[in-house]
Amino acid sequence: MLHRRLLLDDSRGVAEALNETVCVENKCTGLIIQGKYYFRFDQLGEGARWRRSYGQEIYSPLLLAFAEEDKNHWRNSRTTSFSGIDSSYTLPENVVILTLQELDDGNVLLRLAHLYEVGDHKELSVMTSVELKKLFPGKKIGKATEMSLSANQERAEMESKRLVWKVEGSAEEKETKVSRGGPVDPVKLEVELAPMEIRTFIIELILNRTHK
């Protein structure tokens, strides 16, 4: 529910009524919440495809910006078109870029996420891969270091400090193996992503400098 307005406590832990109001000049009215609902009818097994892929476009829409062209040949002094991905390459449908940020040291923080859960879709709920070289056309990747999700330490260091809990009776139970993407080959630079996996990298780019 987008909003609940109750005159009595609903026994959910707040210990008070959720009677939220907006007051203007001593006049109080109930709080109004507005939202959007999306409905779609698909063939059996295809609903997740729209929910995952199109839902990402709803939550993270493109931001459009416009500028007025002046008489000083604005187009000649500025780049009017740009693509951050190689023109011959597109991201897999089940992958999204969560973060693409230039850091203070010139490196790039990159987060890739698999949009689908296991069993969501017969074709898209599978292991997939992304070619890092295609994401940075015209630039050479010197090194791709996998980090923890928050990018404050290397993944290898994080996993070396991970606590292993011994639970009574757990040895007799079957352990479910979580699917993960494999290590990144330093030459091919292809990132594997298992369903619902998020992987974080620090990308070191080698700048091409020309000497006179």
Tens of pLDDT, residues 152-161: 999 999 989 8
Nearest one of 67, 99, 53, 94 to 200, comparing CA atoms: 99
User: Does residue 95 lie in a domain region?
Assistant: yes
Provide the β-strand partners of residue 191.
130
Domain range spanning residue 149? 81-164+179-206
User: Does residue 11 lie in a domain region?
Assistant: no
Give the whole-angstrom CA distance, residue 94 versus residue 136: 20
Task: Note the pLDDT tens digit of each residue in 48-85.
Answer: 888 898 888 888 887 887 777 666 676 777 777 777 78
Alpha carbon of 75 to those of 67, 82, 139: distances in Å?
A: 11, 13, 25
What is the number of other CB atoms lying within 10 angstroms of the CB of residue 8? Answer: 9
Number of domains in the chain: 1
What is the token pair recorded at 155? 């993944």
User: Does residue 97 lie in a domain region?
Assistant: yes
Q: Supply the CATH number for residue 145's domain.
A: 2.60.40.1360
User: Does residue 48 lie in a domain region?
Assistant: no
User: Does residue 155 lie in a domain region?
Assistant: yes
What is the token pair recorded at 74? 């604005």
User: Does residue 154 lie in a domain region?
Assistant: yes
Contacts of 132 (CB under 8 A, 6+ apart): 110, 141, 144, 184, 189, 190, 191, 201, 203
The mean pLDDT of 176-180, rounded to a whole number, is 77
**Whether the predicted pLDDT of 115 surpasses 90:** yes
pLDDT bin (cut points 50, 70, 90) of residue 146 is: very high
**Whether the predicted pLDDT of 139 surpasses 90:** no
The mean pLDDT of 112-119, rounded to a whole number, is 94
User: Does residue 69 lie in a domain region?
Assistant: no
